[in-house]
Structure 1
Amino acid sequence: MDILQQKLQLPNGSTLSNRIAKSAMSENLSDKDHRPSPTLIRAYKEWARSGAGLLMTGNVMIDSAAIGEPRNVVVENRDNFELLKQWAATTSGTDTQLWVQVNHPGRQAMEQINSVLKAPSAVALKMGGRKDATGKIPEALTEAEILEIIDRFGTTSLILKEAGFAGVQIHGAHGYLVSQFLSPNANVRTDKWGGSPENRSRFVVEVYRKIRAMVGDDFPIGIKLNSADFQKGGFSEEESMEVVKILSREGIDLIEISGGTYEAPAMMGARKASTVKREAYFMDYIEKARKVTDTPLMLTGGFRTAAVMRDAVASDQLDVVGIARPFTIYPNIGNDIFEGNRAEFPTDTTKTGVKAIDGFMNIIWYEAQIKRIGQGKAPAPQLSAWTVFLKYFWLIIKHKIGI
């Protein structure tokens, strides 16, 4: 048997049918009221036939007042429960599990569509490599607001379980709220939620405990965690390793490793050519993490060939291969690997030639490919970057004016 086809039992007793996972990507495909759209649901029906053992959805927001992108799905109550059931049912009759990535953007909520930004501390987001605070200064969360957000993570997760999803993943990476609490750059609090690494870890621990209390022991809970922020004075590799130890002791079921934030986007290809050639971007970290935890580890970032995926799992350093952008170009990727139809899965966005715009292509160009899949169209590797950008800009305008 292909090593990538081996089953994996998680700590809570549930089993993944193989070692290939679609990692979370932003789909930006809700309707204007932040409900799952038919296009989004159809995209997951297509991916359910991909042969992957696990599909992870993109950001699902826990609060309609804190949205990362104009068309993020929001689950804060049961108003759209029937649509959630339809989404969850896309993997029915397959061996694929569908987990939902639950998230709060914190200060990374889009300023254009959020009137108020909340974060651990009143520290603005720095973008474009500039040293000055270029973003809107967020309001520091009060103790009561922190506890409310923790409750929201639990409530959303319970609704998703009842709708039929197979698990949830806490988004603790890429500079969103959980990641902000962990970072000494973003979190300069002096109360029990900030300061020492232990205090900065308190938020993610309490989020996990609340979700576990709500969904029970038989429902898988994972986390996406940064190996590091890749910023001076930020969340370090050593601190990340301590969080891995803490969450492992708590009983988390799957730890996915990524890295970087939108201030230092290691997760979006900003790295040396030698690292790109090796493919597994955060392999050095996961080799160290394996020494401190027996919890299943999933590595996402850079995998583009079946041979490297097999070697990574055979090394026993990781348990699940996380694949993101290739799923938008090769939506049948699991079967392609297992049946030997394709061994390489390159991805390259088209460019506008405008640096400030092309930085966004690492997200919105792939969102456009997901939309094509959800519309029943084939992926378009030569899709115009200008077309993608102008449509996204129009989407923001429509959100602002409520259409």
Structure 2
Amino acid sequence: MKKSLLALAAGAFALGAAEFVMMGILPQAAEAMHVSIPSAGHFISAYAIGVCAGTVILVFGRKIPPKRLILAFIVLIIIGNLLSALSLNAPMLIAARFIAGLPHGAFFGTATLIAKSVADPGKEAKAVSMMVTGQTVANMIGVPAGTLLAQHMSWRMTFAALSIWALLTLLLVALWVPDVAAIKDAGIAGQFRFLRRRGPWFILGAVFVGNTGIFCWWSYVSPWLIHIGGFSASVVPALMMLAGFGMVVGGLSGGMLTDNWRHAGTAALGQSISAIGLLLVFLIPGSAVSTGILTFWVAFGLFFISSPQQILMVEAGEGGGELIGGAAVQVAFNLGNAVGSLVGGIALADGGDYHLPALAGVPFAVFAVVLLIVYSWRHETHTGAINRLRQVHPEAIGSTPETTQV
């Protein structure tokens, strides 16, 4: 991995851990802030709102070179997590979580542009997948580690550790990430001009409904593992590491396929994997083996689609809207998470059957597949495959001139 991609992946790790670790330390944070568990859910939603609001940073930062933007985003990560660790009451923690979420979408939009710029020709999606790997590794290692740190020391130490990690990331980015030219200044309105076309809305719609479907079930994966899989609560962190490993493998696999095939086609394949997984979660009665396999399966599909969707939106925004396009994916992703959790909770409330949230998510996931297929069919006619063909010289393979091929 290039050092520049490693530095960006470190930033993605900080964001991924900051976003999801609150779910693991919610009881400790709620007790310390003297609020109920349902009220503590605002600590999670505040981050998601910050992700959406943070896109405004890119609107007014379009003239700033991408590297400087990344450095500014990491400073916000440090401030947000440090304030979270020092929060004295619930309103202060909500505000701190909002600040921590501000750089999330903007970071991934900008980091995608840089990753494409430093990638070897024809390996752009692989480079983006390596950057996104930081977020998947955060789910595999960072979130379980943060949860254990909260259980054995303090939930505040979890956020303090993330601040230290982000500080080290700031140094890595300053040293290793090269200067990349700022995007074309198309003006404030010009950054959104690409959204006048139908194509980008197909992609964003697929991101939104796809994640809505998956998070109908994923939001309640821990109790599902306990009640359906028969695992004890102490084993759940290990299974979350298994899910994180599925995300890592899925993200890298999706990146490699994207470089050699249609971007939207790759995303449709990954979304299909997740949709089938959700259907199996509903249909299979459940055992330790099946729940373990399906946890890996759905997590694999969830991040298989990450790189192609990020690249699709950056490419859709070419001409001044690249950063907005990349950030919009994260906004749609987080909105899908929030809606999926709500829909899954409604399904779960109807009898308390932990199979039902997965069933509720299937129509959303299937709709996402349809959107991606339609986009690929109508808007992705040029795959770039002809540019990847190489000439085979007959003397190199011992053939006659008549068998020369391209």
Task: Decide: shared fold, TM above 0.5.
Answer: no
Indicate the structure whose relative CO is greater, using CA pairs within 8 Å and at least 6 residues apart. Answer: 2
Tell me which structure has the larger Cα radius of gyration.
Answer: 2
Greater fraction strand: 1
Greater fraction helix: 2
TM-score (norm 2): 0.28
TM-score (norm 1): 0.28
